[in-house]
Amino acid sequence: MAGIDGSYDAIIIGSGIGGLVAGTYLAKSGIKTLIVEQADKVGGYCGSFSRDGYRFDEAVHYINNFGPQGFLRAICQELGVESLFEVLTIDPSDRLLMPGVQVAIYHNALRTTEELSRTFPKERRAIKRFFDLVGAFHFASLYVTYQRRTFRELLDEYFEDRRLKTALGLFATTMGLTADKLSALSALAYYKGSILDGGYHSVGGAQSFANALRDRFLQLGGEILLSQRVTRILIQQGTVRGIELQEGHRVSAKTMISNCDATQTFINLVGEEHVEPGFVRCLKALRPSTSTLVVYLGVERSLRDEVPDCCNLWYFPHEDSASGSINIVEDDRPNGFVHIGLSSLHDRTMAPEGCESLVLFCGASYMTVEYWREQRDRLAEILVERACHAIPQLRGGIRVKLPANPHTLFRYTLNRDGAYRGWEPTPDQTKLGLVPQKTSVEGLYLAGHWITTPVGNGGVSMVAQSGKNAARAVTTFLRRHTETVVGTVSA
Ligand SMILES: Cc1cc2nc3c(=O)[nH]c(=O)nc-3n(C[C@H](O)[C@H](O)[C@H](O)COP(=O)(O)OP(=O)(O)OC[C@H]3O[C@@H](n4cnc5c(N)ncnc54)[C@H](O)[C@@H]3O)c2cc1C
């Protein structure tokens, strides 16, 4: 294979943010590293594309934990990528429209408390207590109290008002679940990362962030192979030896990080014969997070005076979460839930002058290819109709309309069932060790949103941290088991 050496210290399968961060740490430590990506560009879900002058974020449209104390910012500083992309801070990051409720979530907990207390004055003290809990959140201190509980149970413990509980639950549906199923710890981690340290947009779209990591990785001597799918992880005597690519070409490596779907990694790439039967059963029984229907909209008019600036506008036309589903396959009423990403309101590179680029999201079950062939356009129209309820000025101005269904997400990233953010973050699935970073194959580690942790592992900042951890594990392995001279990855 032209340009590809036959032997590496480390190979990374997949160039999602978890893979890119891991690769950049390894290259920085002097480790000869190859990233293999099946798509024709890097980033996985963190990508963007252009159409008719509009730029759209394919999935990720904002990043969290990037404030002055944020761990994602610290990672970018350590890797020297901070200066390679530009970030805008949007405060408030999220706004919600519900009957009689229009509230915003600011980076500052006090300001958010004030905002919510204006709409729910009787709950003022409870709101303050809730945000104190969020502000002080560290999973270790709350693990015993909340590990088995849902976010709904936590909300019931704090609040009386049904609409307030619905509103706070809706903001957390970015985790792909309603409050009655979502793990309380995942919700608290999300509130902390997004409220106190959330709402950052990379100028030019999410792809700019992935490209910055790619450029730094290449600068440090790393190599990337695009449009090549790994079909096999080669194993000898329980230790990783290399990969096989789609056309049969083999590349050897002393260590490996899989950044792709965990089920694919163990069942298809490693092979069940190399994995404990109990672990295979566990993997098959775990539930992936929901997928989404996405509609990319190019709008031929400015919405700057109509819509207050934010990253995410949440629209839910019911007072109670039980009155409507966040999954459009389960609830296809024209006036229902929609989550709107509003990148061009603050980043003018995303749309032509006087126009806007919007992305509509709604939970959606994976279903069959035939189902989506028949239903895609109808459900996309319903999602647009919902967005027009939230922003009436959209009507008549739509010039570009492109839907992506769960099978599209699967095709582009090979995430099982087009999953949105790894495993479904329910209390029974948010545990350390169900799918650990260190695998039973010597020298093989995972990075990305399929590792289980007490708070879930979805979202850019979490997968970046997992990439850093995987790189540290690889450097330790190389130092212990090989002659390779390696630097260190900070704790
Ligand atoms: C619609 C949507 C919106 C989202 N919005 C946000 C958001 O705004 N903010 C946020 O923080 N998170 C968001 N998320 C979640 C976030 O995108 C993911 O949790 C995160 O990006 C996953 O990163 P990852 O490193 O695990 O890899 P992924 O992004 O899943 O990438 C895996 C990579 O591996 C490659 N690959 C797979 N198999 C192979 C193979 N066999 N050979 C070679 N390459 C392979 C894939 O092509 C892909 O590039 C969103 C997700 C979705 C779906």
Find out whether the beta carbon of 421 lies less than 6 Å from any atom of ligand 1: yes
Mutate to test the pocket of ligand 1, among 171, 260, 423 (most ligand atoms within 8 A of CB): 260
Ligand 1 site, residue 409, Cβ cutoff 6 A: yes
Q: Which residues, listed in sequence order, are joined to residue 49 by a DSSP beta bridge?
A: 56
- What is the structure's pLDDT at 1? 62
Strand arrangement of the beta sheet that strand 312-315 belongs to: 101-105, 94-98, 312-315, 338-341, 356-364, 291-299, 398-404
From atom 5 of ligand 1, which residue's Cα is the shortest distance away?
A: 60
Cβ burial 84-99 (10 Å sphere, 16+ → b, else e): bbebeebbbbbbbbbe
Task: Supply the residue whose CA is at minimum distance from atom 2 of ligand 1.
Answer: 59
Cβ of residue 225 lying under 6 Å from some atom of ligand 1: no
Mean model confidence pLDDT for the chain: 94
pLDDT tens profile 21-66:
999 999 999 999 999 999 999 999 999 999 999 999 999 999 999 9
Residue nearest (by alpha carbon) to ligand 1 atom 26: 448
Q: Are strands 312-315 and 291-299 parallel, antiparallel or unpaired?
A: unpaired
For ligand 1, what atom is nearest to the CA of residue 64? 11
Residue type, 339: H
Instruction: Residue 156: count other Cβ atoms within 10 Å of its Cβ.
Output: 14
- State how far the Cα of 351 lies from the Cα of 175, in Å rounded to an integer: 28
State the pLDDT at residue 254: 97
Give me ligand 1 centre to Cα 16, in Å.
Answer: 5
- Residue nearest ligand 1's atom 11 by CA: 459
Measured in Å, residue 109 CA sits from the centre of ligand 1 at: 29
**CA-36 nearest atom, ligand 1:** 43
Is the separation of the CB atoms in 9 and 254 below 8 Å?
A: yes
The rounded distance, in Å, linking the Cα atoms of 333 and 337 is 9
The residue ranking higher by pLDDT, 431 or 262, is 262
Among residues 416, 466, 463, the alpha carbon closest in space to that of 285 is found at 416
Task: Please state which architecture CATH assigns to domain 7-47+69-86+205-287+423-481.
Answer: 3-Layer(bba) Sandwich (3.50)
Ligand 1 centroid vs 126 CA: distance in angstroms?
36
- Residue 481 backbone phi and psi in degrees, to 5: -110, -5
Q: What is the pLDDT of residues 211-229, one digit of tens each?
A: 999 999 999 999 999 999 9
Q: Selecting from 3.40.50, 1.25.40, 3.30.519, 2.60.40, what CATH number does the domain 290-413 have?
A: 3.30.519
> β-strand 200-202 against 338-341: which pairing, if any?
unpaired
pLDDT in tens, 328-362: 999 999 999 999 999 999 999 999 999 999 999 99
Q: Is the CB of 414 under 6 A from ligand 1?
A: yes
Rounded to the nearest whole angstrom, what is the distance from the C-alpha of residue 395 to the centroid of ligand 1? 32
Which has more pLDDT, 90 or 451? Answer: 451
- Burial of residue 478, with CB atoms counted within 10 A of its CB: 0-12 exposed, 13-18 middle, 19 or more buried: buried
Ligand 1 pocket, mutate which of 421, 445, 446, 455 (most atoms under 8 A from CB): 421
Q: Is 116 in the pocket of ligand 1 (CB under 6 A)?
A: no
As a whole number of angstroms, the distance between CA 485 and CA 393 comes to 61
For residue 472, pLDDT beyond 60: yes
CA of 410 to the centre of ligand 1 (A): 10
* Fold (CATH) for 109-196: Guanine Nucleotide Dissociation Inhibitor; domain 1 (1.10.405)
Question: Is the minimum distance from the CB of 175 to ligand 1 under 6 angstroms?
Answer: no
- Parse the chain into domains and list their residue ranges: 7-47+69-86+205-287+423-481, 109-196, 290-413
**Which amino acid residue places its CA nearest to atom 47 of ligand 1?**
413
Q: Does the CB atom of residue 205 touch ligand 1 within 6 A?
A: no
Nearest-angstrom CA–CA distance, 292 and 4: 36
Kindly provide the ipTM of the predicted complex, given to two decimals: 0.99
